[in-house]
C-alpha cells in the first residue's frame, strides 16, 4: 500500500501512497518520523473536497482533539510551476483524525485499513508481552 524509496526517506523527502486505486497517488513528505500531507493531499486521499477537510480540521482543533501546534507545520515544497512555496502540512495524527470523520468510499477504505493495522499491532503486542511475561516467570521459577 505504501511504497517507500529509503534513500529519499533518509533525506526526509517523499514516499508514494497508493490505496489500491491507480488514479490516487500521493507524494508525501516524511519528516520527524511521521508523514505530512497538505489539505489538498488529504482531500485527494479521502476522495473529498478541500472545504470538507478544512471543516473537519477546524472541528478537530476547536474540540481540542488535537493541538494545532503539535500536528501542523509550514513546509517548503516545490510546486508544479517550479516555484518554492511554504504550505501548511498536517502530520499522521491529523491525517488519522480527519480520516475517521470524512464520509467517502476512500475514507472508509482508510478506516478499514487503519483499524486492521491497529488491531494487528495490539494483538501481536499482546502476544509478545505475554511471551515475555511467561519467559520472565519461567526464569524466576527456574532460578529460585
Sheet containing strand 14-17, edge to edge, reads 2-4, 14-17, 26-31, 34-38, 84-90, 72-78
What is the residue-averaged pLDDT of the chain? 78
Q: Which residue has the higher pLDDT, 59 or 135?
A: 59
For 121-141, give the DSSP string.
Answer: HHHHHHHHHHHHHHHHHHHHH
> Residue 3 pLDDT > 50, yes or no?
no
Q: Helix or strand or coil: residue 43?
A: helix
Give the residue among 11, 13, 3 at the shortest CA–CA distance from 75.
13
Q: Which residue has the cell 482531500?
A: 43
User: Do residues 43 and 52 touch, judged by C-beta distance below 8 A?
Assistant: yes
> Residue 8 pLDDT > 50, yes or no?
no
**How far is residue 15 from each of residues 33, 46, 71, 80, measured CA to CA in Å?**
12, 17, 19, 17
Kindly report the number of other CB atoms within 10 A of residue 37's CB atom.
23
The angle subtended at Cα 86 by Cα 13 and Cα 30, nearest 5°, is: 20
Average pLDDT over residues 37-63: 95
Q: Which residue has the higher pLDDT, 121 or 69?
A: 69
Average pLDDT over residues 116-137: 65
pTM of the model: 0.70
pLDDT, position 101 = 97
* pLDDT confidence band for 103 (50 / 70 / 90): very high
Domain boundaries, the chain: 2-143
Amino acid at each position: 500500500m505504501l511504497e517507500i524509496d529509503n534513500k529519499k526517506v533518509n533525506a526526509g523527502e517523499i514516499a508514494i501512497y497508493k490505496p489500491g486505486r491507480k488514479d490516487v497517488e500521493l507524494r508525501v513528505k516524511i519528516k520527524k518520523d511521521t508523514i505530512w500531507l497538505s489539505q489538498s493531499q488529504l482531500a485527494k486521499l479521502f476522495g473529498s473536497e478541500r472545504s470538507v477537510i478544512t471543516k473537519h480540521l477546524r472541528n478537530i482543533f476547536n474540540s481540542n482533539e488535537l493541538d494545532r501546534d503539535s500536528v501542523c507545520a509550514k513546509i517548503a515544497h516545490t510546486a508544479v510551476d517550479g516555484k518554492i512555496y511554504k504550505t501548511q502540512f498536517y502530520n499522521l495524527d491529523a491525517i488519522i483524525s480527519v480520516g475517521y470523520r470524512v464520509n467517502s468510499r476512500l475514507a472508509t477504505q482508510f478506516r478499514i485499513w487503519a483499524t486492521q493495522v491497529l488491531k494487528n499491532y495490539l494483538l501481536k503486542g499482546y502476544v509478545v508481552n505475554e511471551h515475555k511475561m511467561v519467559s520472565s516467570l519461567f526464569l524466576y521459577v527456574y532460578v529460585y
